[in-house]
Amino acid sequence: MVSFLTQTLVGQRPSVTTGGNSHGVWQWWEEGVLTFTPHKAVDQALLLSTGIHGNETAPVELLMPWVDNLLSGKTGVAWRLMVVLGNPAALREQRRYVHTDINRLFGGRWRQHPDSTERERVQILEQMVHRFWHAGAESRRWHLDMHTAIRDSFHPRFGVLPFRADTYDTEFLRWLGSAGLEALVFHQQPAGTFSHFTSERFNASSCTLELGKARPFGDNDLTAFTETHHALEALLAGAPIPDVATEPQRYRVTQQMIRQSPDFILHMAEDTWNFTPFMKGTCLAEDGVRQNCVEKEEEYVLFPNPNVALGLRAGLMLEKI
Provide the CA 241 distance to its chain's centre, in angstroms. Answer: 21
Residue 100 in contact with residue 113, Cβ under 8 Å?
A: yes
Length of the chain, in residues: 321
Which residues have a catalytic role annotated?
210
Residue 210 in contact with residue 228, Cβ under 8 Å?
A: no
DSSP 237: H
Give the closest residue to 69 by CA, choosing from 226, 227, 237, 267: 237
Give the closest residue to 161 by CA, choosing from 183, 141, 139: 183
299 CB-near residues (< 8 Å, 6+ apart): 254, 255, 277, 278, 317, 318, 319
164 CB-near residues (< 8 Å, 6+ apart): 199, 200
For residue 307, the cross-strand partners are: none
The tally of CA atoms less than 13 A away on the side-chain side of residue 301 is: 31
Distance CA 151, CA 273 (A): 6
